[in-house]
Amino acid sequence: MAKFESPDFYNLDEMLSEDERNVRDTVRDFTDSNVLPVIEEHYEKGTFPTELIPKLGELGVLGATLPEEYGCAGMNNIAYGLINQELERGDSGIRSFASVQSALVMYPIYAYGSDEQKKKWLPELASARAIGCFGLTEPDFGSNPAGMITRAVKDGKEWVLNGAKMWITNGNMSDVAVVWAKTGKGDDPKSIRGFLVEKGMPGYDVREQHHKGSLRASNTSELFFTDVRVPEENMFPKAEGLKGPLGCLTQARYGIAWGALGAAMACFDLARQYAAERIVFGKPLAAHQTTQHKLAKMLTEITKGQLMAWHLGKLKDAGKMNHFQVSMAKMNNVGIALDVARVAREILGANGISLEYHVIRHMCNLESVKTYEGTNDVHSLAIGQHITGISAFA
């Protein structure tokens, strides 16, 4: 397969530091040499390429923004964004693995955890000797996690956990699950706390979810808790209420805003190459006006998305980013990536539906990416509330 070129129409490359470019190029090479050769087969079988997990640890991309004292790379947020972009240029499932580990497991341990929790888990998770997952969604509550049913009740020095989580990325492969549960007597979301549930704890069961038509090269599981006795020291001391899980989602959504661009860039480049080579009605597809219009529109949207992600990264590094800005970037960049993937699929004609040409895989993956970490509806409602001061959620 030909190597993808990555579009950079506004020379954003010049805005990156040498270190940022080096990180980007290293992860780009990793994706070209390790992900692209195996991903089609894994996607078709519906398996995660577990053989890549130690390599992701060696590469230093897990928890990349966290401090070196925990075995992490201490990178800035632009470098972290570029990691996501380059992993998702390969497959959204690979980026999802790294996003969950970094933003949804390592971040809350770092931000909300005790010193013991940090020392125990962060170096293991950074090196990929341990894998983590994040359990927020339940069978009856996705967009509205405040309604969660999972509950932890204190009994002596332990919490007794009961409930179920669904659609959990990395679930079946995980050594530790960050699980959110209500701890109050009533239904108040202010009582939500986070727990580190470890593989093998009695009463903790995990079942892989099959038959997915999207994100097939990713492990998705249900988690079940039946009277799981979680030691007191496994609860996060510094997270109370929905702010805990939502703080993690802001981190992950930031990475997705970059990651989706990687998928879009791959689809754009595949469509550009195909249109140059495919002859229709006596001349290359690329020489027809309608194709040029499609390619121009795709590149325009990718370029706008790149500028948005880059500036959001600058705001994040300066400590000035807010979660509404993240909602906008996640919503926009995943939305345009899906549009780009759909038009690229159209340009490839029948070959567009063949997994050999990658585009259909990206297109189907992006349906999951649009759904998880807040659907586009949810992000537009959050932005709408910010604009008008009126909540239209309920």
Write out the catalytic residue numbers: 373
247 sits near ligand FAD (criterion: CB under 6 A): no
Size of the site for ligand FAD (CB under 6 A): 20
What gap in Å lies between CA 290 and CA 297, rounded to an integer?
11
Q: Residue 393, interface with ligand FAD (CB under 6 A)?
A: yes
Q: How far apart are CA 223 and CA 179, in angstroms?
A: 9
Instruction: Kindly state whether residue 143 participates in binding ligand FAD, applying the rule CB under 6 A.
Output: yes
220 binds ligand FAD (CB under 6 A): yes
Cβ-based nearer residue to ligand FAD, 39 or 298: 39
256: left (phi over 0), alpha (psi -120 to 50) or beta: alpha
- Strand 132-135 vs strand 176-182: parallel, antiparallel, or unpaired? parallel
What is the footprint of ligand FAD within residues 47-76 (CB under 6 A)?
Answer: none
Q: Name the 3-class secondary structure at 138.
A: strand
Min dist CB 220 to ligand FAD, Å, is: 5
Q: Quick one: which segment of 279-287, 289-297, 300-308, 377-385 binds ligand FAD (CB under 6 A)?
A: 377-385
| CA–CA separation, 158 and 287 (whole Å) | 69
CB of 173 to ligand FAD, least distance (A): 12
Instruction: Rank residues 107 and 134 by Cβ distance to ligand FAD and give the closer one.
Output: 134
Of 179, 215, 217, 331, the one binding ligand FAD by CB under 6 A = 215
Using CB under 6 A, which of 100, 235, 263, 267 touches ligand FAD? 100
Compare residues 114 and 371 and give the one whose CB is closer to ligand FAD.
Answer: 371
Running DSSP on this structure, what letter comes out for residue 373?
Answer: S
State yes or no: residue 380 binds ligand FAD (CB under 6 A).
Answer: no
Judged by CB under 6 A, does residue 136 bind ligand FAD? yes
Alpha-carbon distance of 244 to 251, in angstroms, equals 12
Residue 225 engages ligand FAD in binding (rule: CB under 6 A): no
The residue within the footprint of ligand FAD, chosen from 1, 227, 377, 391 (CB under 6 A), is 377
CA distance 209 to 16: 40
Query: Is residue 132 a contact point for ligand FAD (CB under 6 A)?
Result: no
Stretch that binds ligand FAD, among 19-27, 131-139, 318-326, 382-390 (CB under 6 A): 131-139
Place of tokens 């860039």: 265
Query: Encoding tokens for residue 378?
Result: 């949810």
Among 110, 134, 159, 225, binds ligand FAD (CB under 6 A): 134
Helical pair 243-277 and 92-99, crossing angle rounded to 10 deg: 160
Pick the closer one to ligand FAD by CB: 136 or 360.
Answer: 136
Selected binder of ligand FAD within 142, 184, 189, 241 (CB under 6 A): 142
Q: What is the DSSP string of 169-235?
A: ETGGG-SEEEEEEE-SSSS-GGGEEEEEEETT-TTEEEEE----SSSTTS-EEEEEEEEEEEEGGGB
Give min distance, CB of 309 to ligand FAD, in A. Answer: 21
- The one among 65, 77, 85, 137 contacting ligand FAD by CB under 6 A: 137
DSSP state of 270: H
168 binds ligand FAD, rule: CB under 6 A: yes
- Residue 149 has what DSSP assignment? -
Closer residue to ligand FAD, CB minimum distance, 7 or 384: 384
CA 105 to CA 244: how far, in whole Å? Answer: 12
**Residue 26 lies near ligand FAD (rule: CB under 6 A):** no
Q: Which residue has the tokens 């807010």?
A: 322
Q: Residues 57, 58, 61, CA angle at the centre, nearest 5°?
A: 55
Chain-centroid distance of CA 332 in Å reads: 15
CA distance 331 to 373: 10
Choose one: 277-285, 324-332, 354-362, 364-372; the region binding ligand FAD (CB under 6 A).
364-372
Residues that bind ligand FAD (CB under 6 A): 100, 134-137, 142-143, 167-169, 215, 220, 368, 371-372, 375, 377-378, 381, 393
